[in-house]
Structure 1
Amino acid sequence: MAEKRKKQFILIFLLLILVVEVVFLVRRMTLDKKASQTLASVTSEKKMIDESLNSLAHNTLENYVTSKDLLTTSNKAQEQVETSIKKVDEISNISGKVKHQKSQLLTELQKDSKAIQLVQHKIKVSQEMRDIFGTTPFRKNTLVKNLAMTKSVSSTLQDDLTSQVSALPKDEQKSALEEGLKEVTTQNQALATLDKEMATYIQKDKIKTVPSSDEYKKLDKAVSELKNDKLKKTYASQLSLLEQEVIKNDPTLLNDDKKVALTFDDGPNNTSSLQILDTLKKYNIKATFFMLGSMVDTYPDVVKKIHEAGHDIGNHTYDHKDLTKLDEASIKQEIDSTNQKIEKLTGEKPTLLRPPYGAYNERVTKVEPNMSIALWNIDTLDWKTHNPTAILGEVKKELQPHSIVLMHDIHQDSADSLENVIKFLKSQDYTFVLAKDLIN
């Protein structure tokens, strides 16, 4: 009897275990089914997130600055990702297969989240730079050259921008943002230095100490290099107060600063370049010609005439390509081939490089460390207006001590306008020098 009861007890116990296992299995199946439904739903949501991310990622920096919707779109996409991650995180008590699906989907969502954050970094930095420069600082994914800051930047904002840019993966957009950040840093430092130095001599429009001629020239040069016209005018008014006192001690200062260099790009040719040579000869003026290697090949005799007339010849690359978009080997080829051609014809190797569009970066200076970059501070816009009156107007508007005037000797309108430009500069008591005399 006892044995029979024992067997019955074991049987009941086994049945109970079986019931528990069945209940557990049913519960697990129910949870797995619910989890699979949630994962399927989130997977469907992820497709929409991926579409948004794809749309966001395939934009240029210029779009990030100008579009009002992209930041809103990126914020919504990030919210969707965070919601989806939360849904997946809440899934628990699931089988191995569903657990693997959960882990895989969670990893993909986290990647999406990171990708959206990178886009948001780009949008934020791009728009911050727009606010700093007061204009769209990018053309597609390239920094616009010669931008002027409209305001100084706090160290906190500068550090934040640096952090945001550092977080980005290396690509064309990061390079452009780094260039923009470098420009902000450079101009900010120049303003801070100038403020400190100016405060040594003048405060609240009252002179504290009269600078020496050399100190004044240093200040004047720093002001002339400012890119923001409004800031430049503010400092110029202070300089004018100092200038009056400095001239009392050194009257030669008046004439010393009035120097101008005429420069001609993109040539030579055998028509307008020769007319320009004749005009320069008439007024006994020496100028600087920044030549393209391709034009040197076409008009070697004109190159020799320009050199024999005593003018300086600089390098403007071989094909007028944007050097910032080339690798080091291509940059070297563009510059070195042109140097070699000019040296072969003239016996002199150019020491000045004028990069096309004024565009250069650290790669360019690294490739040609022994050449000086020669930009300009008066663009006559002859390439745009083709109008002698307008060309002269730009010179009148932008003229300042130590001006480097940009013209193009391949345009007939430029050749036709040159004499009036020279007459005007002479009427303002300017002395004509070569570009290398005004380049640091």
Structure 2
Amino acid sequence: MTKERFSYKKNEIFYKLLRLLARLYSRMIIEVECIMKKLNYKKVFIFLFCLTAAVGAMGLAIKSLAFDKKKTVSAYSNDQNYPEADIQTFVKDDTKGGYSVSRPVLHIENIDKQLEAYIKKEIQDYEKKWKAIGGKASSELNLTYTILHFSKQTITISFDKYEQVGGKKQSGSRIFTYDIPSQKKLSIEDIFATDTDYLSVLSDIVYEELAESKEEGISKSLIKKKNQLKAANFDSFSVLKNTLVFYVKTDEDGDSSKTHTIAINKELFKDSLLDSYQSKDLNQDRVKEWQPKHVVAKLPVKNEWIDPSQKVIALTFDDGPHPSHTMSILEALNKYDAHATFFVLGSRVQHYPEVLQKMTEQGNEIGNHSWDHPQLTRLSKKKIKSQIEQTQDAIEKATGTEPDLIRPPYGAINDNVREYMEDMKVTLWDVDPEDWKNRSKKKIVGKVMSKAKDGKVILMHDIYQTSAQAAVEIIKQLHDKGYQLVTISELEQVKKDRELYGIDLQE
């Protein structure tokens, strides 16, 4: 129903009621006159009382209908997601100065008082702005909420606001987390031990996630100032059963609607997060635990030993591990303080787990190269899944962690293969000396060194003796030419650091 139609309907009812009350009033006057003539004072008193009540009712009806638009209504209803909570809504039905504001009623005294104070302050601020422009312009305030998480230990509430006053529109969100036992609003300092370096770890993780994010609205200048991130940048958060979720605002223009959600596994803070927020039982959601789509489970790679202003190159080795050939490559890498990435076959990992352990001890990286080297694009979905997952399991059993990188055999990939990669990154190559075909150390070394350039990825195989011998020589020559030999992840970090600091390396 349109506003004009609604207004017309209200006026029609109003005048009908006035006519009815007027007829009743006239009838009662006639009755009073008749009674007076008969001098029945008892009946006179009764009719006078009824007359007064009728006049009073008429006045109330007129006042209610005439000033209905200015009346504020407060209503309660039940929160459908969390039955323990009620919803209190304040509504002022007026296109000039009207609003609709809701907040949860948790029946937790001090938290309820804080939430009530917050929404009343929002209403007051809105009305102050409206009156400042004369109190006649069209305006609107809508404030709604969502309970993001509700456990025995904490509750997190997000308020979404839309405001329009005199043609100026504003929208944004505020997120509050309360500790239920103490009924206190939490800041980031309240959930971590004070003598730990949690803020530095948080800054590194957030910087890495934002730098990799493809979302719009991320301020590159703020990302570049990662070392300036303060505790206040992380005061919007939820404490879930297994994760901490941060709602990070990255814009610099004051638009608080640009928020980026970053979920981090609590295990990364096992030495700094306080016990009550570490507990899975206390932080299990009362209704249904929310599972973030992406959870940061590893700390970012730190290139503390790598200079982004100097040349870098990544050696990669496929089809291993081999008990002797791979070990000779590892010895050469260690000698020159170099790293490489090994894409291993699950069928070989199970026989030589100690070789993988040596790789990780020296700072090298391990990637998935399938179980036994089939062309994955020719397999059924079930077999593709088995090839990838069995290898992941074998690597985790040997090293304690699953790899993030995968190199499909022959570089063959399609949508069926991608379906089972989850968040793994596909890594191919730039230089292929075909060491599997040319079993000549001299030819392999010559091909690699002739094509070696800054930022390139070299493909080799550590299951052949000639390849291992060539690798030892290549590592020495690259080192002598000033190259830093890095893993794939370290290479990616160097590229980010160069962009961050404006480094343009020209060979």
Structures share fold, TM-score greater than 0.5: no
Task: Identify which of structures 1 and 2 has the higher relative contact order when contacts are C-alpha pairs closer than 8 Å and 6+ apart.
Answer: 1
Shorter-chain TM-score: which interval? 0.3 to 0.5
Higher helix share: 1
* Alignment TM-score, normalising by the size of structure 2: 0.36
Higher strand share: 2
| Higher Rg | 2
